[in-house]
Amino acid sequence: MTFTPMRLSSALVRTLTGRPSTRTLLIALTASGSLVLASCATFDDSTSASGDWQPTAELTPERGPQPDLPEVGGEREPDAPERTREPIPPPDGCTDHDPAVIATCLGPVGAVAALPPHGTEIGALAGERESGTVHAAVEGADPREFASLEVDATGDGGLTGLALSPTYHEDRLVYAYISTEEDNRVVRFAEDGDATPVLTGIPKGDSGNAGALGHGGDGTLLVATGDGGDPDAAEDPDSLAGKVLRIDRSGDAAEGNPEPDSPVIAGGLHSPGGLCASQDGTRSWVTDQGGSVDRLYRIEPGEDLSAPAWTWEDRPGVAGCADWSDLLMVTTSNTGSIQSMPIDEDGVITAEPQVSDTRQDGNGYGRIADVDVISKEVAVAGTVNKAGGDPVSSDDRVVLLLRPEAGSGGAD
């Protein structure tokens, strides 16, 4: 399968030739009214796939290049010749010639959060897992340090989750999931400010310390926690380990939780890779690298995560996810692939994932961890090639990805 975008609006160009400036892409997105700030966005369901189908457990990724960004302009004339795609020179040190790359030479990027638009600039916050440094990555500029958090990266911990405050346009606050020497916790901070604890005491162990953050769509925050190396803790209702939590901005249990005084809304996680939700908060997903298989769960408040929506026996290292209403995208941090699954209006996966290869030798970006939606055509992602991959000179990077096509599923 080739990783190509959906049909673009008339404000966007017609082909995927060349790699023009992402600034022109944003201008077109803004002009067409498609640029939104959300952890995951909800859009028209008219293209959802349908049909009766049962998932299989194991997939073999196909080869397919990463997408070029579209140019801006009118519709291509029907008889106009296809324009050829010119090769992009390889990175030269920290200089990456791919305009889809908006930050280079970072440590492994454990978390990303899309920033609201500023003029014609596309930007995101990118957190280095091991150092705890949060960078502001903006197209056309060198990344700048936004904040520095004290983290303990042992046992797969560190900085593994970022989310803008639900009222970021007012308070300019950012939330992070981090590991310290004592525990795993949620903190909040402003640019150049100190981190303030929001929710502490999440168990920490020799493994299972990664976590993820997302929005609940109603001003709440969703938190996915690892089991801290104790699988039994994931099933213990009195433990914060291995759970999906729903909290308010102060870290208290959100109103409407199954147990009024508990932030826990679901249990059964081991090492969550990513968490995403539809914009209205009616549908939420979490990925989990646990046990003998990788899993994707649909979060149902008050129920244990016992029936995955999808499993991967080949354990690609499921990481970030993005819900585009009719399409769910999952990135992988081990094999280097993007798994794209059509979903119906009820959030049911209706066909086998389309698999796009993102390995460096496949002209891709390599291993991808967290991802966040910028618009209904574009997402931002961070790479983790320095963490056991095959890095190029400009790794690790923050990159822009076009949403995959919502096909019927199955191998081509």
Query: How do residues 186-207 score in pLDDT, each as one tens digit?
Result: 999 999 999 999 999 999 999 9
In a domain, 213, yes or no: yes
Comparing 262 with 406, the larger pLDDT belongs to 262
Place of tokens 């929710």: 199
Task: State the Cα–Cα distance between residues 179 and 129, nearest whole angstrom.
Answer: 10
pLDDT band at 154 (very low <50, low <70, confident <90, very high): very high
**pLDDT band at residue 345 under the 50/70/90 scheme:** confident
Closest CA to 336 of 67, 61, 93: 61
What confidence score (pLDDT) does residue 332 get?
Answer: 95
3-state SS string over the chain?
CCCCCCCCCCCECCCCCCCCCHHHHHHHHHHCCCECCCCCCCCCCCCCCCCCCCCCCCCCCCCCCCCCCCCECCCCCCCCCCCCCCCCCCCECCECCCCCEEECCCCCEEEEEECCCECCECEEEEEECCCCEEEEEECCCCCEEEEECCCCCHHHCCEEEEEECCCHHHHCCEEEEEECCCCEEEEEECCCCCCEEEEEEECCCCCCCCCEEEECCCCCEEEECCCCCCHHHHHCCCCCCCEEEEECCCCCECCCCCCCCCCEEEECCCCEEEEEECCCCCCEEEEEEECCEEEEEECCCCCCCCCCCEEECCCCCEEEEEECCCEEEEEECCCCEEEEEEECCCCCECCCCEEEECCHHHCCCCCEEEEEECECCEEEEEECCCCCCCCCCCCCCEEEEECCCCCCCCCC
Query: Which range is least confidently modeled, 175-184, 221-230, 400-409?
Result: 400-409
- Does residue 11 belong to any structural domain of this protein? no
Sign of CA dihedral 159, 385, 297, 405: positive
For 169, phi and psi rounded to 5 degrees?
Answer: -65, -15
What confidence category does residue 117 fall into, taking pLDDT thresholds of 50, 70 and 90?
confident
At residue 409 the predicted structure's pLDDT band, cuts being 50, 70 and 90, is: very low
- Segment 235-261 shows an average pLDDT of 95
What is the reported pLDDT for 405?
A: 76
Give the pLDDT score at 22.
41
The domain total for the chain is 1
What number is the average pLDDT over the span 42-67? 34
> What pLDDT does residue 303 have?
84
User: Rounded to an integer, what distance in angstroms lies between the CA atom of residue 200 and that of residue 225?
Assistant: 12
- Sorting pLDDT into bands at 50, 70 and 90, what band is 112? very high
pLDDT band per the 50, 70, 90 thresholds, residue 76: very low
Flag whether 90 is in a domain: yes
| From 12-16, 221-225, 308-312, the region with the lowest mean pLDDT | 12-16
Does 193 reside within a domain? yes
Give strand pairing partners of 368.
383
Highest mean pLDDT among 12-21, 63-72, 182-191, 304-313: 182-191
Residue 11 has pLDDT above 80, yes or no: no
Mean of the pLDDT values across residues 133-152?
95
> Is residue 399 scored above 80 in pLDDT?
yes
The pTM is what? 0.81
Q: Taking residues 42-49, report their average pLDDT.
A: 32
Question: 235 near 241, Cβ under 8 Å?
Answer: no
At position 225, the amino acid (one-letter code) is T
Whether the predicted pLDDT of 410 surpasses 80: no
Over range 280-298, report the average pLDDT.
90
Closest C-alpha to 208, from 132, 148, 268: 268
Smallest CA-to-CA distance from 109 within 377, 409, 291, 371 is with: 371
**Residue 10 domain flag:** no
Distance in angstroms (rounded) separating the CA atoms of residues 291 and 218: 33
What pLDDT does 217 receive? 76
Domain region containing 261: 22-77+84-402
Instruction: Categorize the per-residue pLDDT at 68 as very low, low, confident or very high, splitting at 50, 70 and 90.
Output: very low
Region 125-142: what's the mean pLDDT? 95
Of 234, 355, 378, 253, nearest to 297 (Cα)?
234
Report, as an integer, the average pLDDT of 151-178.
96
Q: For residue 156, is the peptide bond before it cis, meaning its omega torsion is within 30 degrees of 0? A: no
Determine the average pLDDT of the residues in 264-269. Answer: 95
The verdict on residue 3 lying in a domain is no
- Dihedral, 56, 60, 64, 69 alpha carbons, nearest 10: 50
In this structure, what CATH number is given to the domain that contains residue 397?
A: 2.120.10.30
Burial 14-52 (b: 16+ CB within 10 A, else e): bebbbbbebebbbbbbeebebbbbbbbbbbeeeebbeee
Percent of the chain with pLDDT over 70: 76
When pLDDT is cut at 50, 70 and 90, the band that residue 362 belongs to is low
pLDDT, residue 392, reads 95
Statement: residue 406 has pLDDT above 60: yes
332 residue type, one letter: T
1 in any annotated domain? no
